[in-house]
Structure 1
Amino acid sequence: MESEPLQEVDLGGNRAARSQFVLAFNDLTYNVRQPKKKAVRTPSFQRGRVQAVPYDIERPPKVKTLLDRVSGEARQGEILAILGPSGSGKSTLLDALANRIARESLQGTITLNGERLKSGALLKVISTYVMQDDMLYPMLTVEETLMFAAEFRLPKTWTTRDKKKRVEVLIDQLGLKKAAKTIVGDEGHRGVSGGERRRVSIGVDIVHDPIILFLDEPISGLDSTSAYMVIKVLHEIAEKGSLVIMSIHQPSSRILNLLDRMIFLSRGRTVYYGPPGSLPKYFSEFGMPIPREQNPAEFTLDLVHKLQEDEQTDPTGIRRLVGFCKSWGLRNVSRREPSTLRTSNGMSLNEVIFNCIPHARLVNGTIPNYANNPWTEMWVLMKRSYTNSWRLPEIFISQLGAVIFTGVLCASLFWKLEKSSTGVTERLGFFSVAMSTMFYIVVNALPAFLDERYIFYRETSHNAYRRSSYVISRAIGGFPALVVYSVVFAGVTYFPVGLDGGFNGFLYYTICSLAAFWSGSGFANFLSGILTEFVSGFAVVMAALRFFLTFCGFYINRDRIPHYWLWFHYMSLMKYPYQGAMQNEFGNNSTCFSRGVQLFDNTIIEQFPSDVKGSLLPGISMILGTNITTQTCMTTGPQILEQNAVNDLSKWDEIWVQIAWGFLFRFLFYIALKVGSNNKRR
């Protein structure tokens, strides 16, 4: 069956007039098992000495309850705030409602308009999750940041003009008109303020006008004025038809007036649920009235914190408050509107969502996972990356500078190598230094990769684009820089060092360098997908590069490596560019690297004049039965390759293997991102 045509809606309009959504949760319970403690041997006393009894006691794992039968509801057009002391379960409840906890681990029910959300993909389409950290591209302006988000999240049927209009409406809605042309900024580049940055972060996630907004402590780290502005914006968004659920630590009185419903938690248990205005009455009936001059939210948090601290000695206090919350809720339940109604006009949940989400296409219960095709996603990703990098050229310039510096250093150190046995040794040293340098240079960008990974996790958590699109765009977008590095390094080193092969040799050397950069950058990408911080990442990189260099064939020939370590040799990324460069240099049978007069090099006779050494050659010729003159070629390039056991692959096969390594590491990078972005708790 063909899909129904895409329906357009005004993303800046008021949805509340068309539909009504109620997200209800009942008896949510979430338990986690703490790790088992190791078996211990219990001591016993015998004849004044401590001895271990011959049996072990294994303590069973503890089960910790993070949510304990939590119930409530959030309504469209309102803000539900989740409050509580640290460790009370605020983020856990938010994750449960946002489908970030595995269904099999969570007990209880979550319904939207009385219907259970059977598909997690459906919730991704109608909701967004705004994380606490504002990870944004620093050199993009506010307008550009939101425009790129619109290109990701709005369907391709929207024209560029329509997307720009949506961004203009959003900028006005977020109160960012004055900052629209200002870069976001970071520690090294001055940009928008902290409050504006937080609003930009929210705007990125609501550009597609989701029905439900989940926010993890959106005012954390902000001053009171900036915090109030953020909540005021969220209040306006809710009034225009969205359902806002957020965790918040300690709201001011002004912020409290903007909230519609509150749920206070204490170690996963509900101690209050209702509107902020009912807090004085609630605690008055509980027997602990709130002083008039005190913020009700602060009073509640202080009381809960005190009861939690006293729970070890007097557990009745917090239990009494939890019990009172249940009885108080039962007495007031008749005043609430029923949360199980479908909609005011009798439409099903799917019908309501179909009418409210511009890129939702519900046919036979299926919906599209992404707003655009992979080609559009890759184009937008590369365009955004180039825009940010063009204004932040430090990474490219530093890497190019490292390439030039290393190339000049190698060229001056290995200047015009001789064709002699000493020159052969020096050539091998040059190849090992040159090829290992390429890997050190590309992994220097690891910190930038790690920072960008957090942006990736945030954007893909609600299907802004495919993971494969990101990996491919990274590979294509970064390739031109690798070409520049390769051409520059080859141009700076090849002819000054005096390598053999002419232009064809230079061309292969450049391609071999490019293949080394390609596999090395793939390795760096893979590391950025599995490592969590730069310090540990740098240690892993250094260990890996040392491993690659040790087994590449420079320090020990392949024939000399024990058979049980031989597979390390083939896993070394440096083996292939190193041996490819060797074959390019020594593959010509007509090139001689040691003649008869050089037969005495590295011996005691080396210091004698050439005519003396030449006079010794006839005697040696007579003994060996062959004619050796001062110009007789004693060592050819292929003989050097044979001596170094460089004969398992052709020089072009060395290139293909490096290319394959680059693709393999990028595939592993994709797998690492796929596994790492699975942010559901178990």
Structure 2
Amino acid sequence: MSRIIAENNGGGHVLDAATGDGTPVCETSVDVTKLPSMPFLLSFNHLTYSVKVGRKMPLLTGGGRTKTLLNGISGVARDGEILAVLGASGSGKSTLIDALANRISKGSLKGNITLNGEVVESRVLKSISAYVMQHDLLFPMLTVEETLMFAAEFRVPRTMSKSKKRTRVQALIDQLGLRNATETVIGDESHRGVSGGERRRVSIGVDIIHDPIILFLDEPTSGLDSTSAFMIVKALQRIAQSGSIVIMSIHQPSYRILGLLDRLIILSNGQTVYTGLPTNLSLYFSEFGYPIPEKENKTEFALDLIWELEGSPEGTKSLIEFNKKWQSKNSELVRLCSSLKEAISVSISKGKLVSTSTAMVPRFANSFWKEILVLSNRSILNSRRMPELFVTRLVAVLVTGFILATMFWQLDNSPKGIQERLGFFAFTMSTTFYACTDTLPVLLHERYIFMRETAYNSYQRSSYVISNALVVLPGLITLSFAFTTITFWAIGLNGGFSGFLYYLLIIFASFWSGSSLVTFLSGIIPHLMLGYPIVVAILACFLLFSGFFINRDRIPAYWIWFHYLSVIKYPYEAVLHNEFDNSTECFMRGIQLFDDTPLVTIPNAMKVRLLQSFSDVLGTKITSSTCFSRGVDILRNQGITDLSKWDCLFITLAWGFFFRILFYFSLLFGSKNKRT
């Protein structure tokens, strides 16, 4: 293990770092005392990280056993070079990348990570680094240029003009080899777009738009053919040569890709089995006793050998010990000459975009209102190019409205008509909520994009929540107007034009509340397969306790709290108020009293004589025109007496805002990018 003496303005910070190739850290010249400073040197020492596993029933299992994912990993990475972390699945590659990128909680990670001998604050690290995830998370209907331009709006300092941002985007397009795909949309399963390799390069471009000093990548060549993978690493080489530290994990590089890598760290079960230059692999394994055949792929041979050793009784213990001896034998004293601030100044002089004052790095590149504007523009642009999503929702609402209108055509005010109206209202209110569930896949996809972008302070969570709410409003208004127009007049609902307007408002409030509920659930549901069952189950419970299937007065005391939590309760009661809250209108007269009895089939004359008999017995005059049930009586029978129709409307709207607030907190606490 080498000793690196870091002298920052006369200070003497002593750092451990494994070089493993016999070269100094600052330069490759032999006389290290006369070397100019290397602008950036990332050093990580004795990184150890453990997690608890088997904790499904911690009270019975005692908390589970501890599994060590990283065990004393050390190394260095320099600007102008690519450091590749190799290993089989489960070896700790991604965990090491996460540790270096500050994506593991400091309380869980042991060891130290420094840049030019200094521990970098999390806020500063976010501004000078970038992390490219393994999966491409992009808006499918934006072009390559638009995608990078929106990234520039979020990440590039606000002091930079629009023209300079565009210049930066064009330069990055050339650097990544995307010139021929500039005007091509990203695409997805349903829309043809760029190739897989181009999509991966766009993902890289989105994260390096601010020209970071350090670039972390989690298996950027995963899932690509050999040519696309080579082009990715070739682009990363150009990025490194522009003055960045590039650290990437890779499963098994080809011979051509190996020639582009500058340094390797090979892991096995969280421990280092090799650190050094790719060219030293043959010598290393030869001295270990397993010479690599001349025409064999070096990394393929190394990984196969490690896999065989892992399956042996002793495992890779002998190789780990040999690596320690190798590093000790091939290490030298080197001198680190520049402080982090000085190195950043040098980097800026080369054209980097990071701020010279790392202590004054702004947390966000834009103001709050500018963030909302840019987020809304991006979402609208992407949605406008996928009209089939909204058209499908609109057609579904129109078809549902048409079926309901023809099924409940011109209901009368008879007792049966009243019951049919109650059924229509219950079905309508539940349908407005269920109709919002089809946005769940889009919301989940956007949440993953949100997590990637906010990991490095692209924008504030509150800006995203407000933008999301504003963007959906026009669509909800359109759906509400379409459904209301079809059903209100066709079914013959009461209230005239004022009743129509209120009905429109409550339908909109229901769509708004349902959309907000699904949006909130998208912030806490882990993946789509669980999404639909959870949403459907929650809405089914809300409908059950809405007051339609069982009146409020008959709900058991231990369930009454759920009745008041039911989101469907309030719009359901609102439309009943709108329909029946009229003390002058009668819904059951005279002979209609017999409609729900076995006497319904007798002649009307006989019914009139029976009413006269009732009059004689009761001492009250009862005729065929006597009113037995008014709207207020129906509301009372349904248990709807404690809230007015305006109270119900405001509460329904308030539920929507409440769910948006919960959505914000779900993003704040549930969409973390760090491991615990």
* Length-normalised TM-score, structure 1: 0.90
Provide the rounded CA distance (Å) in 2 between the counterparts of 1:85 and 1:439. 47
Do 1:115 and 1:349's aligned partners in 2 also have CA atoms closer than 8 Å?
A: no
Q: Determine the structure 2 residue equivalent to 1:440.
A: 434
Which among 267, 270, 281 is matched to residue 268 of structure 1? 270
Q: Deviations over 1:585-610 (max 9, x none)?
A: 00111111111131221123322333
1:164-313 counterparts in 2 under 5 A? 164-310=166-312, 313=313
Do 1:353 and 1:360's aligned partners in 2 also have CA atoms closer than 8 Å?
A: no
Q: Determine the structure 2 residue equivalent to 1:323.
A: 321
Does 1:627 pair with 2:621?
yes
Listed as ranges, the gaps of 5+ residues in structure 2 are: 1-26, 28-35
Q: Determine the structure 1 residue equivalent to 2:314.
A: 314
- Cα distance, 1:374 vs structure 2: 1.7
Do the aligned partners of residues 320 and 133 (structure 1) sit closer, same or farther apart at CA in structure 2, a change above 3 Å counting? same
Q: Determine the structure 1 residue equivalent to 2:81.
A: 78
Provide the rounded CA distance (Å) in 2 between the counterparts of 1:535 and 1:71. 40
Q: Determine the structure 2 residue equivalent to 1:604.
A: 598
RMSD: 2.2
Q: Determine the structure 2 residue equivalent to 1:467.
A: 461
- Cα distance, 1:537 vs structure 2: 1.4
The amino acid of 1:93's aligned partner reads L
Does 1:341 pair with 2:344?
no
Q: Deviations over 1:613-654 (max 9, x none)?
A: 233333322322322222222211111111111011110110
1:366-515 counterparts in 2 under 5 A? 366-515=360-509
Provide the rounded CA distance (Å) in 2 between the counterparts of 1:430 and 1:61. 53
Q: Determine the structure 2 residue equivalent to 1:160.
A: 162
Does 1:67 pair with 2:70?
yes
The amino acid of 2:122's aligned partner reads G
The number of equivalent residue pairs is 641
Provide the rounded CA distance (Å) in 2 between the counterparts of 1:488 and 1:413. 17
The amino acid of 1:135's aligned partner reads L
Q: Deviations over 1:498-546 (max 9, x none)?
A: 1110000000000000111111011101111111222221111221121
Provide the rounded CA distance (Å) in 2 between the counterparts of 1:65 and 1:662. 45
Provide the rounded CA distance (Å) in 2 between the counterparts of 1:580 and 1:37. 44
- Cα distance, 1:670 vs structure 2: 1.4
Which is further off, 578-587 or 635-644?
635-644
Does 1:35 pair with 2:58?
no
* Length-normalised TM-score, structure 2: 0.91
Provide the rounded CA distance (Å) in 2 between the counterparts of 1:503 and 1:106. 66
Quote the sequence identity (%).
Answer: 54
Do the aligned partners of residues 373 and 520 (structure 1) sit closer, same or farther apart at CA in structure 2, a change above 3 Å counting? same
- Cα distance, 1:359 vs structure 2: 5.9
Q: Determine the structure 1 residue equivalent to 2:33.
A: none
- Cα distance, 1:360 vs structure 2: 3.6
Q: Deviations over 1:108-141 (max 9, x none)?
A: 1110000112x21111111111000012111111
Q: Secondary structure at the match of 2:594?
A: coil
Do 2:523 and 2:671's aligned partners in 1 also have CA atoms closer than 8 Å?
A: no
Provide the rounded CA distance (Å) in 1 between the counterparts of 2:171 and 2:51. 44
Do 2:344 and 2:356's aligned partners in 1 also have CA atoms closer than 8 Å?
A: no
Provide the rounded CA distance (Å) in 2 between the counterparts of 1:328 and 1:597. 103
- Cα distance, 1:24 vs structure 2: 0.4
Which is further off, 17-26 or 236-245?
17-26
Do the aligned partners of residues 652 and 190 (structure 1) sit closer, same or farther apart at CA in structure 2, a change above 3 Å counting? same
Provide the rounded CA distance (Å) in 2 between the counterparts of 1:258 and 1:646. 74
Which is further off, 558-567 or 220-229?
558-567
- Cα distance, 1:104 vs structure 2: 1.4
Provide the rounded CA distance (Å) in 2 between the counterparts of 1:678 and 1:103. 14
1:550-569 counterparts in 2 under 5 A? 550-569=544-563
- Cα distance, 1:656 vs structure 2: 1.0
Q: Determine the structure 1 residue equivalent to 2:96.
A: 93
Q: Determine the structure 1 residue equivalent to 2:126.
A: 124
Q: Secondary structure at the match of 1:648?
A: coil
Do the aligned partners of residues 19 and 667 (structure 1) sit closer, same or farther apart at CA in structure 2, a change above 3 Å counting? farther
Do 1:461 and 1:677's aligned partners in 2 also have CA atoms closer than 8 Å?
A: no
Do 1:403 and 1:485's aligned partners in 2 also have CA atoms closer than 8 Å?
A: yes
- Cα distance, 1:468 vs structure 2: 1.3
Which is further off, 571-580 or 599-608?
599-608
Q: Secondary structure at the match of 2:180?
A: coil
Q: Determine the structure 2 residue equivalent to 1:46.
A: none
Q: Deviations over 1:428-472 (max 9, x none)?
A: 001001111101101122122112211111111111111111111
Do the aligned partners of residues 411 and 18 (structure 1) sit closer, same or farther apart at CA in structure 2, a change above 3 Å counting? farther
Q: Determine the structure 1 residue equivalent to 2:10.
A: none
Do 2:49 and 2:71's aligned partners in 1 also have CA atoms closer than 8 Å?
A: yes
Q: Deviations over 1:294-340 (max 9, x none)?
A: 11111111111111111xx234xx22221221122122211x744x4
The amino acid of 1:133's aligned partner reads H
Provide the rounded CA distance (Å) in 1 between the counterparts of 2:245 and 2:464. 30
- Cα distance, 1:94 vs structure 2: 0.7
- Cα distance, 1:387 vs structure 2: 1.0
Q: Secondary structure at the match of 1:27?
A: strand
Listed as ranges, the gaps of 5+ residues in structure 1 are: 1-15, 41-55
Q: Determine the structure 2 residue equivalent to 1:106.
A: 109
Do 1:19 and 1:352's aligned partners in 2 also have CA atoms closer than 8 Å?
A: no
Do 1:354 and 1:362's aligned partners in 2 also have CA atoms closer than 8 Å?
A: no
Provide the rounded CA distance (Å) in 2 between the counterparts of 1:368 and 1:289. 53
Provide the rounded CA distance (Å) in 2 between the counterparts of 1:187 and 1:35. 37
Q: Determine the structure 2 residue equivalent to 1:642.
A: 636
Q: Secondary structure at the match of 1:72?
A: strand
Q: Determine the structure 1 residue equivalent to 2:580.
A: 586
Q: Determine the structure 2 residue equivalent to 1:26.
A: 45
- Cα distance, 1:192 vs structure 2: 0.8
Do 2:212 and 2:354's aligned partners in 1 also have CA atoms closer than 8 Å?
A: no
Q: Secondary structure at the match of 1:73?
A: strand
Provide the rounded CA distance (Å) in 2 between the counterparts of 1:186 and 1:225. 21
Do 1:361 and 1:368's aligned partners in 2 also have CA atoms closer than 8 Å?
A: no
Provide the rounded CA distance (Å) in 2 between the counterparts of 1:22 and 1:445. 46
- Cα distance, 1:31 vs structure 2: 2.0
Q: Secondary structure at the match of 1:493?
A: helix
- Cα distance, 1:427 vs structure 2: 0.7
